[in-house]
Amino acid sequence: MTNSIIPAVTRCCAPVTDPGSWRSRQCSKRATLMHEDKPYCGTHDPERLNALRVARLTEVNAKVSAVIRNNLIRQASDKIVALAIKWSAHADAAYGNDWQHEWELMHDTLNDLEIAVKELNAL
């Protein structure tokens, strides 16, 4: 019988930290794939971890974008309400002595209102 070198089971090269410990050790799982000439198990596969990280970031970005959009819609809606109240006040005052000035203010307010509605629709 000749002495032959039997290859040992290759372990995953990823460092693992136990809960409550600051030290890391080599993963004890059997390597199932190679990535950049390094052995990894399915749990520590860099491509899979990257895909999970990208999916998680995409989900977080979608939630943050929705919150920002809702805040912008709320601000635009508040602006539209304020402009409508302002227009109504000018309309009530237009029946007084200085009606031409009030009509000009109403026209300016209406233009601002149209711009605010377009901004809201663009969101």
- What is the per-residue pLDDT across 49-71, written as a single tens digit (0 to 9) for each? 999 999 999 999 999 999 988 88
How many CB atoms within 10 Å of residue 44? 19
pLDDT level of residue 103 (50, 70, 90 thresholds): confident
Two tokens, residue 99: 């009606």
Determine the Cα–Cα distance for residues 75 and 95; give it in Å rounded to an integer.
31
Non-local (6+) Cβ contacts of 119 within 8 A are: 76
The reported pTM is 0.56
Asked whether 32 and 42 are in contact (CB, 8 A), the reply is: yes
Distance CA 70, CA 76 (A): 10
> Looking at residue 47, what is its pLDDT?
93
